[in-house]
Amino acid sequence: MGPCKDWTQLKVTAPLERRDDLIAIMSMLNNNLMVEDYSDIDLKTCYGDLIDESILNADKTIVSVSVFLPADRPFTDATAFVKERTAAAGFDGRIELIGVNEEDWANAWKAYYKTLHVGKRIVVVPMWESYDPRPGEVVVRMDPGMAFGTGTHETTRLVLELLETCVTPGCRVLDVGCGSGILGITAAKLGAGICRCYDIDPVAVRVARDNIRESGETNVTCDVSDLLKNVDLTGGPYDVICANIVADIIIRMAPDVGRYMKPNAVLLASGIITEREGEVTNALLAAGLAVKRRLADNGWCALVVQKA
């Protein structure tokens, strides 16, 4: 697959030593990757006149990985997904959208972000659109900005669907890696008593706080935290924990998450490509947790996890 007028190239550049991490993250969007790594090009071992000068002069301390996205679909979730995942992995990725101008980056994606029905009752509505709810519907209005979580990505939809069945009146909800804040806001609208959201990215926290304020849900908060590091345990452990992150990070937090869970609490773990599900399940089992239910959609899965 190559770039053409019908595709947008999403190119992410990072330090060479994070090559494998970047490839793993980008493969979650699409398995057809273009990797630009010129670290092995050396004039001492090959004929320089057979290699393009731009390659010979390329920076050999970095690597770029690209995927190609359909031009008629929103790219904000993909870019925010990469930004969130690279930050969680501990490095910065410089993002370029080739074939999309600056105005498109800021505004054009809104044309593709429409009202979304999830599960039986949840309706995610863009902040700039009008919607007349039907009786019993739970309406969540969102402006994702540059944060991950519009509800359009499979990983977010899966957790939203699970929240509808797991949230009980007055329960305590924790969202680790909250992105736009969509899960915490939805949980509050479903009847949760308190929702605490955290993200490692200050931009995501700012966007989430804006969305929380606009939602009118006064029992939702958002702060910066590297996974569970700064999570507030005032009032005790939680009934529902959301971790819509990525397989490697869920594995990393598995040994510690149990102490944030009440005896009958559930962990909703998402952002897992199906090929990594076994690894995640094994890590959870090793931490004294067990998978009770799973949902899958388009190569992604979400797990409902409880203490074994």
> Domains (ranges, CATH) in the chain?
7-107 (3.30.70.120), 153-307 (3.40.50.150)
Which residue, among 12, 71, 9, 8, has the nearest Cα to 36 in the 3D structure? 12
| DSSP class of 193 | S
How many alpha carbons fall within 13 Å on the CB side of residue 171?
A: 24
C-alpha 251/C-alpha 267 separation (Å) is 13
Identify the helix (H) or strand (E) that includes residue 220: strand 220-224
C-alpha 209/C-alpha 286 separation (Å) is 35
In sequence order, the 6+-apart residues with CB closer than 8 A to the CB of 81 are: 28, 29, 148, 153
Task: State the pLDDT at residue 121.
Answer: 93
Neighbours of 116 (CB within 10 A): 18
**Residues 161-197 pLDDT 10s:** 999 999 999 999 999 998 889 999 999 999 999 999 9
Residues 205 and 230: beta-carbon distance below 8 Å: no
Handedness of CA 147, 301, 85, 4 (dihedral sign): negative
C-alpha 9/C-alpha 100 separation (Å) is 9
Lowest mean pLDDT among 28-32, 234-238, 297-301: 28-32
- The pLDDT-based confidence of 260 (bands split at 50, 70, 90) is very high
3-state class of 144 per DSSP? Answer: coil
- In the chain, % of residues over pLDDT 70: 82
Strands 238-244 and 261-273: what pairing? parallel
Q: How far apart are the first and last CA of the chain?
A: 45
Q: Is pLDDT above 70 for 57? A: no
Residues 283 and 303: beta-carbon distance below 8 Å: no
C-alpha 119/C-alpha 224 separation (Å) is 30
Angle at which helix 202-215 crosses helix 182-189, to 10 degrees, equals: 30
Highest mean pLDDT among 74-78, 128-132, 151-155, 300-304: 300-304
Which residue, among 149, 159, 248, has the nearest Cα to 203 in the 3D structure? 149
Question: What mean pLDDT do residues 56-62 have?
Answer: 69
Question: What mean pLDDT do residues 272-277 have?
Answer: 88
Give how far the C-alpha of residue 43 lies from the chain's centroid of Cα atoms, to the nearest Å. 41
Give how far the C-alpha of residue 234 lies from the chain's centroid of Cα atoms, to the nearest Å. 27
Checking 53-61 for CB contacts under 8 A at 24+ apart, the result is 60/16, 61/15, 61/16
C-alpha 133/C-alpha 67 separation (Å) is 37
Residues 30 and 68: beta-carbon distance below 8 Å: yes
Residues 241 and 184: beta-carbon distance below 8 Å: no
What's the chain's average pLDDT?
83
Lowest mean pLDDT among 104-118, 210-224, 244-258, 264-278: 104-118
